[in-house]
Each structure stands twice: as structure tokens, then as C-alpha cells.
């Protein structure tokens, strides 16, 4: 555990039911705004509600961003923002929408397209447009983090852009926006949040601050996820999930993650498995791998949850995945030994460096073999 750390978050975080109503006052000084939402926002009536709230502004509305967003989606937003001369960007949706919009908000005033920054040929050098993020799922934490994850269609490589200028200016977390989240998305995003919290707590870069945030997030998520999955309109469970996800992001944005996320990125991009589902499948396997070097921390969390020991905690996590209809391996997704080299090559991210127990290339292959 590190004892020197710096904490950086959005300039303003608004949490609570009904906070959506405060959005117009935070955007009063911007005349031209780009509003980025998911297609479900149009179907649910949320898009119309947002357009009414922002009726005093000149709006450019873009509805629909591909999941696991390719770089072309970011360029689509950059081009629209530059063409319409927007002065602020508002993203309302899940992690893919927020990630694409946060990168666009940063790069609209800059030069070039996103590939130059993704490839490392150019570096983010200045603050972009004002950016507000409003999550409609409880899972990714993208509304608080300095990174955005994309897939390069040319190579199928999935990785993050990361810079302090990608941190949103405003994170508005209104649990009422998650009430219409379907069960399968609730499960995947919720288990992604649980993965992030557990990996943050076990990270080699964990601090007292990040561990306190992650611990509280774990308590909230474990206590509410099943209820949110089975009773999506039950607001108390949605409030706990939204707050748990937010606290998770506050933790892992400073501690880093672990091998689950290191492996989930190449597996997800190669097999087209949604990120949350990939993390949920990997989590029990990686926790068991880490147990020899993380026994004390896992045992403490188990005790806090009323469980016997670290092994019981890992069993509880695996059982939660089964209850939420998460597969126990990647067999149905088509994982095969010929995929192993790509995964091994592309899993060596910052997340892997934070994992409490190192994984050699052979260790990764052995783990993947168990996931077939």
C-alpha cells in the first residue's frame, strides 16, 4: 500500500435522485452544446426530456454510439463538434457513450483526428471543451475517470487514452437515470463495478484513500446488485448501485486495476464480448490466482461481508455471477488456443502491472486454457 498519493476528480460531482434538474444551471454560459446519448434514450423519452431541459441552447444531438466504441465513433463526434462550432459536450449514457464523448470534447479544439493520439504520434496538450457526463448505468465509472477505452478497427487492439484533461468537468450521477436499465446490462455493468472495486482494493498502488472508497463500494454493490437485477424499478437498490459505482471510480482512478481488466480488453475486442461480461467471467479465476498474495485483504473483506474467509468471498463472487446469468467461461464466445498469442501480447497494460500477483505469459496461457 502506497502512502503518498494525489487525488484528482471532476470539478463538480452531483449525486442523488433528481439532480438531473440542475443540469441547465451548470450549462448556462454555453450557447452551442453537443448532446450525445444512446438509442435507448430516444425510446425511453429521456432524449426529449433532455432537449426540453436544454431548450435555451443551440443543440447538436447525436443519438447512438456503438458499444466498445471504435475510433471512428470518436471521429464522428469530433467532426460534428467542429462543424457546428460547439462550446460544450454533454454525454448521457453508459461507458461507451461517455468515453467517446469525453475524447471528442477534449479533441474538438485540438488538431488532427483521434488515431494520432491513440497511436501516440500526438499528445494531448490542452484542456478541451467543457464536458458533462451523466451515467445511465451503474458500472463503468467513466463519468469520473481520466481515461477512455477504444478499439482500433485496423488492428482489433483495445486500449485506453489517458490524460488529466479527459476528466469530466461535471459528473452528474442521478440514480433515476438507471431505472430503465435492462437486467442483462444491470448485471454486466454491476459486475464490472464490483470487479473494479475488488481490483482497486487489491492493487499494488492502493492507498488508504482508495481502499476506503473501494471497501464501501463493495459493500454497497454486493448488497444491492441482485435486487437491482430482479427489481429494476426499485429505487433504493438503484441508488446503492449508482453510489457504489461512483465510489468505485473514485478509487480505481487513482489505484489502478488488475489482471481482470488487463485480460478483458484483448478478450473482449477479439471475441466481441461486452466488457462487463468479460470482467464478470474472469473475476473469480483471477481472484483465486491472487489469493496467495492477497489473503489478508480478501479475508478482511470477507469478514466485512459476514463470510468465513477469503475462499468464501471468492465463492460468493462466483455464485453472484451465476445468479445473474453470467457464463462461467468463454466457451460459447469461441475462445480457442489460437487466440492465446494475441491475448498474451495485448494484455500487458498498466492494469496488469497493478495486479498483486505477477502473471507470466505461461501463467496467462494456463488461465486461458481453463476458460475454454
Q: Is residue 168 part of a domain?
A: yes
DSSP 2: -
216 and 323 part of one domain: yes
75 and 142 part of one domain: yes
332 and 363 part of one domain: yes
pLDDT at position 2, please? 75
Q: How confident is the model at residue 264 (pLDDT cuts 50, 70, 90)?
A: very high
352 and 318 part of one domain: yes
294 and 166 part of one domain: no
Pairing of strands 12-15, 32-37: unpaired
pLDDT tens-digit map of 199-217: 999 999 999 999 999 999 9
pLDDT at position 165, please? 96
Q: Is residue 2 part of a domain?
A: no
List the CATH number of the domain containing 124: 3.40.50.1970
pTM: 0.94
Q: Is residue 7 part of a domain?
A: no
Q: How many CB atoms lie within 10 A of CB 21?
A: 9
Q: Is residue 309 part of a domain?
A: yes
**Stretch 234-260: mean pLDDT:** 97
The residue from 132, 157, 177 where one domain ends is 177
pLDDT at position 43, please? 86
pLDDT tens-digit map of 332-356: 999 999 999 999 999 999 999 999 9
**Stretch 74-100: mean pLDDT:** 96
- The domain containing residue 207 runs over which residues? 183-370
Contacts of 176 (CB under 8 A, 6+ apart): 17, 18, 20, 235, 238
CA 58 to chain centre: 30
- Rounded Cα gap, residues 23 and 30, in angstroms: 12
Q: How confident is the model at residue 126 (pLDDT cuts 50, 70, 90)?
A: very high
pLDDT tens-digit map of 305-321: 999 999 999 999 999 99
Q: Is residue 5 part of a domain?
A: no
* Of the candidates 135, 194, 143, 160, the residue with the CA atom closest to the CA atom of residue 74: 160
Which three three-digit cell numbers place residue 182? Answer: 435492462
pLDDT at position 345, please? 96
| Start-end of H helices in 256-358 | 259-271, 275-304, 310-323, 340-346, 350-354
163 and 219 part of one domain: no
pLDDT at position 154, please? 87
pLDDT at position 39, please? 87
pLDDT at position 158, please? 86
Q: How confident is the model at residue 40 (pLDDT cuts 50, 70, 90)?
A: confident
Judge contact between 102 and 143, C-beta under 8 A.
no
The residue from 158, 177, 196 where one domain ends is 177
Q: Is residue 3 part of a domain?
A: no
- Rounded Cα gap, residues 163 and 295, in angstroms: 33
Which three three-digit cell numbers place residue 358? Answer: 505477477
* Of the candidates 283, 97, 77, the residue with the CA atom closest to the CA atom of residue 190: 283
Answer yes or no: is pLDDT of 156 > 90.
Answer: no
Q: Is residue 4 part of a domain?
A: no
pLDDT at position 326, please? 97
List the CATH number of the domain containing 197: 1.20.1090.10
Domain count, the chain: 2
127 and 29 part of one domain: yes
DSSP 66: -
16 and 165 part of one domain: yes
- Rounded Cα gap, residues 79 and 99, in angstroms: 16
Average pLDDT, the chain: 95
167 and 195 part of one domain: no
152 and 195 part of one domain: no
Contacts of 148 (CB under 8 A, 6+ apart): 98, 99, 100, 102, 103, 142, 160, 161, 162, 166
pLDDT tens-digit map of 51-86: 999 998 999 999 988 888 999 999 999 999 999 999
Q: How confident is the model at residue 42 (pLDDT cuts 50, 70, 90)?
A: confident
Contacts of 114 (CB under 8 A, 6+ apart): 71, 74, 75, 78, 103, 107, 150, 161
pLDDT at position 6, please? 85
Judge contact between 254 and 350, C-beta under 8 A.
no
Which three three-digit cell numbers place residue 223? Answer: 448488497
173 and 205 part of one domain: no
Q: Is residue 6 part of a domain?
A: no
pLDDT tens-digit map of 227-237: 999 999 999 99
CA distances from 325 to 152, 218, 282, 322 (A): 30, 20, 14, 5
The residue from 124, 145, 177 where one domain ends is 177
301 and 195 part of one domain: yes
Helix/strand/coil percentages in the chain, nearest 5:
55, 10, 30
Q: Is 179 exposed, middle or buried (0-12, 13-18, 19+ CB in 10 A)?
A: middle
Sign of the torsion formed by the C-alpha atoms of 205, 210, 215 and 218:
negative
Amino acid at each position: 500500500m502506497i502512502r503518498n498519493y494525489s487525488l484528482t476528480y471532476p470539478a463538480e460531482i452531483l449525486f442523488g435522485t433528481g439532480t438531473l434538474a440542475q443540469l441547465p444551471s451548470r450549462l448556462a454560459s454555453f450557447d452551442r452544446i453537443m448532446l450525445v446519448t444512446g438509442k435507448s434514450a430516444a425510446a425511453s423519452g429521456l432524449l426529449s426530456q433532455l432537449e426540453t431541459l436544454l431548450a435555451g441552447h443551440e443543440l447538436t444531438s447525436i443519438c447512438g454510439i456503438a458499444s466498445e466504441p471504435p475510433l471512428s465513433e470518436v471521429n464522428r463526434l469530433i467532426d460534428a463538434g467542429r462543424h457546428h462550432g460547439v462550446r460544450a459536450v454533454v454525454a448521457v449514457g453508459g461507458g461507451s457513450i461517455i468515453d467517446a464523448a469525453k475524447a471528442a470534447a477534449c479533441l474538438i479544439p485540438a488538431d488532427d483526428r483521434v488515431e494520432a493520439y491513440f497511436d501516440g504520434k500526438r499528445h494531448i496538450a490542452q484542456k478541451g471543451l467543457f464536458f458533462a457526463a451523466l451515467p445511465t448505468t451503474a458500472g463503468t465509472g467513466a463519468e469520473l475517470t481520466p481515461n477512455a477505452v477504444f478499439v482500433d478497427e485496423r488492428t482489433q487492439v483495445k486500449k485506453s487514452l489517458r490524460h488529466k484533461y479527459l476528466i469530466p468537468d461535471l459528473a452528474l450521477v442521478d440514480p433515476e437515470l438507471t431505472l430503465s436499465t435492462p437486467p442483462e446490462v444491470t448485471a454486466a455493468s454491476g459486475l464490472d463495478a464490483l470487479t473494479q472495486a475488488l481490483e482497486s482494493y487489491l492493487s499494488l498502488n492502493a492507498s488508504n484513500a482508495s481502499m476506503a472508497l473501494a471497501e464501501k463500494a463493495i459493500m454497497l454493490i454486493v448488497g444491492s446488485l441482485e435486487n437491482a437485477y430482479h427489481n429494476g424499478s426499485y429505487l433504493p437498490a438503484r441508488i446503492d448501485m449508482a453510489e457504489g459505482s461512483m465510489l468505485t471510480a473514485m478509487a480505481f482512478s487513482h489505484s489502478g486495476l488488475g489482471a481482470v481488466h488487463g485480460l478483458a480488453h484483448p478478450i473482449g475486442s477479439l471475441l466481441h464480448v461486452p466488457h462487463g461480461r468479460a470482467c464478470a467471467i474472469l473475476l473469480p479465476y483471477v481472484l483465486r490466482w491472487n489469493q496467495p498474495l492477497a489473503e489478508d485483504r480478501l479475508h478482511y473483506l470477507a469478514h466485512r461481508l459476514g463470510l468465513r474467509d477469503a475462499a468464501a468471498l471468492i465463492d460468493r463472487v462466483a455464485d453472484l455471477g451465476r445468479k445473474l446469468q453470467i457464463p462461467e467461461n468463454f466457451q460459447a464466445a469461441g475462445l480457442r488456443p489460437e487466440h492465446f498469442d494475441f491475448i498474451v501480447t495485448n494484455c500487458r497494460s498498466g492494469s496488469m502491472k497493478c495486479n498483486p500477483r505477477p502473471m507470466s505469459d505461461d501463467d496467462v496461457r494456463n488461465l486461458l486454457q481453463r476458460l475454454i
